[in-house]
Every structure is written in C-alpha cells, then in structure tokens.
Amino acid sequence: MNILILNWRDRDHPQAGGAEVHLYEIFGRLVKKGHQVILLTTRFKGGAEIDNHDGIQVLRWGRTFFFNWEAPLLIRRLLKRTPIDCIIDDVNKIPFFTPLWIKKKPSGVLFHHLFGKTIYELTAWPFGFYIEIMEALCGRVYRAVQCCTVSSSTAFELVAKGFDERNITIIENSVDTGRYTPEAQVVKEPDLLLYTGRLKRYKNLELLLAALRDLQTKGKKLRLAIAGAGDDEERLKKLSADLGIAASVSFLGFVDEQTKIDLYRRSIAFVNPSLKEGWGITSIEANACGTAVIANNVPGLRDSVRDGVSGILFKENDRADLVAAIIRITADAPFRTKLENGGLAWAQSFSWEQSAQRMEQWLKKVTTASGTRPA
C-alpha cells in the first residue's frame, strides 16, 4: 500500500510532540511490513527539503502558516510522479480537508484531539477563532470518510460535531515497554514530582506551581522537575519566582529519551494538569517506568489514567483536590505501591506492534470503503 500522510510537523521539527511520536511508531512499523509511506509536512530552519526517517520519506514542502492551503497543490504535484493508494490527514492542529480537494483518491482522517475553547489558552483571539471555525467544519467535510482517533473522549467530541460514529475507529497510543521499564537499582526520590511535555498555556502548569506553593505552606517540602520546552517557559519561570518556589522548581528544557526515562523512574509521582489532551501518552510512559500518575480529570487524561488503579484523577482544575492527591501519594506508601503496580500492568497492555496492526486494518477500510467522498 502506498500511503501519503499530511502532518504539520515531522519528528525533527523543533516543536514536535506526541502526535509525531505516534506517527513514527505506527507508520515506521508499517514500512517494515512492506508499505510505502510518504510524509508531507512543513519546512523549518536547518531541515532538509527531502529526508528519510526509518523508511518514511519526508517531504518538507509546506510553509508553517499556510500549509493547509498549500496542501491541495502540493498533493497534486506529488500525485503526478508517485502512485498513492490513500491519503491520511493526520490532524492535531488545523485540518487539511483533503476529501474536499482531492476526490480521485480514497482518504481518511486521524484525530489526536480537538482544541475547542482551549485554543484560546494557546494563541491570540483571531487565530484561535480561525481554528475554532475550522474544527466546526470538520463534521461536514469528514462525515463520510473513515476516521481514526486515539481515545473515547475524542471520539465522543467528534460525534458531537456531526461525525458518524459508525465511521470512527479508536486506536489508542502505546508505549515501548521494552525501553520504558522500571529499574530496580534506581531509588525513588520521595520529594520529587515530575512533569514532562511541551510548555504551553493549555498544559495548565500554573495550577501545579500554585499547588506546590500550597504544599510548602502546609510544611510539605517537595521539588518539581519540569522537562520540556515551549513558549510558556519564561512566564512559568517568572510565576515560580513570584510564588516564592523558584528554588524548588527545576526547568530542565528539552531532554533526550534516556534522561526522560530516568526522571520517570526517580520521581515519586508524575503530574499532568493539562486542560485537555487527545490521550496523554506521558501517563502511560510514567506507568511503564513504575511511577504513579496524578492527572486532571479532563478529556484524554481520563482515558489514559485509570483512577485508583494507575493513578489519581483530581477534580477538574481543582487545586485543593490536586494538593490532596499529591499528599496522599507521597504519604501513603502502600497506596502508592498499589498504583505503581497497577500502572505497570496497565501500560503493558498497550503495544505499538498491536496499534500498527490495527492501523493497517483501518487503512484497508479507508481504501475500500464506499463512503470516502464528502456528501
């Protein structure tokens, strides 16, 4: 099968995240099974126009702010020289609406999450409104094509926007449990909390910083390691200083995978206060390393965290409940051990190999489904 994927970024892009991890973990395995995969994406400084990652051909032809409008022309340019069996819109920002422009090729759409109102935490009002309108059009443009998403929460949102639930397939994100593992020789640091991920406003890290201040006023001396980079970093550093907790917060910036695994293993708990996620792959990574998770009870995170089994879901954006969850996990060793063991079993139920097999079956549905054209 010759597969063309559209995504705003590839894994080498400075702002690559979980969606790009998903792309390479899944489609890299499909390449090994004999499929041809081409990724059409955007340029960035220092990135070659044509590249190859694990057998995936990467074409960095698009411009950052205009890629969705350029995509139809770029696809037609590619089709003149390369046979393509299906086109997949890998949507984690602005949708491409390929079925609207390219009607002679079967197409499908992959959604990681929808921004909804949280987009205004991420960008200025005019651009946020533009994205909100584009998301509102998704149900109309994509309603007759095969759709794949990573969680029940996102599937529910898609149905609410007009998608036919019969066309939706859920394939959860997974984790490399051969690499993300506990390590018996690594001793957990009882005062170390961890967050990993991009530093964006919608990640809601100010809630975690305020909770850390509250814990310190209660006499609970804890440290917080923040591993990741993003445009919210300077604001968060200033907020840490304003709250009087700067000495207890380490901003580590981007870290490599092995450093991240070491942090998961050493931390007493992984905390994710994000306002919304598509799935929350970092929750599964932490569990796979033998670490309990504390997460906001919001779409995506409530899918990747089993409350009372792999971690604790605190009441949505409730700082007092977050503080209580941190106190319980750090103070109640038997309960924490239960979550660590439960989280490890939960993480081991996910496999990129199985996800890739399910994706292969879904792609066959895309290429054979009669409803691949918008009505």
Place of tokens 């910083």: 209
Residue 64 lies in a domain: yes
Specify the CATH number for the domain of residue 322. Answer: 3.40.50.2000
Position 101 scores a pLDDT of: 93
Q: What are phi and psi of 86, to 5 degrees?
A: -155, 155
- Residues 9/198, Cβ–Cβ less than 8 Å: no
Kindly report, residue by residue over 38-96, the tens digit of the pLDDT: 999 999 999 999 999 989 999 999 998 899 999 999 999 999 999 999 999 999 878 99
Residues 194 and 117 in one domain: no
Residues 87 and 166 in one domain: yes
Residues 88 and 193 in one domain: no
Residues 161 and 200 in one domain: no
Residue 180 lies in a domain: no
In terms of phi and psi (left: phi > 0; alpha: psi -120 to 50; beta: otherwise), the region of 54 is: left
* 4 against 119, higher pLDDT: 4
Residues 56 and 159 in one domain: yes
**Which tokens in the block code for residue 66?**
């205009």
* Number of residues in the chain: 375
Using CA of residue 325, residue 330, residue 335, residue 338, what is the dihedral sign?
positive
Domain coverage including residue 300:
189-347
Neighbours of 248 (CB within 10 A): 19
Cα separation, 186 vs 203, whole angstroms: 28
Residues 129 and 12 in one domain: yes
Residues 72 and 28 in one domain: yes
Using CA of residue 315, residue 321, residue 326, residue 331, what is the dihedral sign?
negative
Kindly report, residue by residue over 2-15, the tens digit of the pLDDT: 999 999 999 999 88
pLDDT at 371 over 80: no
Residues 209 and 166 in one domain: no
Cα separation, 231 vs 210, whole angstroms: 20
Of 93, 177, 107, 115, nearest to 148 by C-alpha is 107
* pLDDT averaged over every residue in the chain: 93
**Which tokens in the block code for residue 311?**
């971690």
Give the amino acid at 238. K
Residue 183 lies in a domain: no
- Residues 106/146, Cβ–Cβ less than 8 Å: no
Residues 143 and 82 in one domain: yes
Kindly report, residue by residue over 193-209, the tens digit of the pLDDT: 999 998 999 999 999 99
Residue 220 lies in a domain: yes
Of 28, 21, 23, 61, nearest to 44 by C-alpha is 61
Number of domains in the chain: 2
Position 122 scores a pLDDT of: 66
The stretch 188-192 carries a mean pLDDT of 97
Residue 102 lies in a domain: yes
Of 147, 48, 137, 143, nearest to 366 by C-alpha is 147
Position 121 scores a pLDDT of: 66
DSSP string, 261-296: HHHHHHEEEEEE--S--SS-HHHHHHHHTT--EEEE
Residues 214 and 115 in one domain: no
**Which tokens in the block code for residue 312?**
């604790």
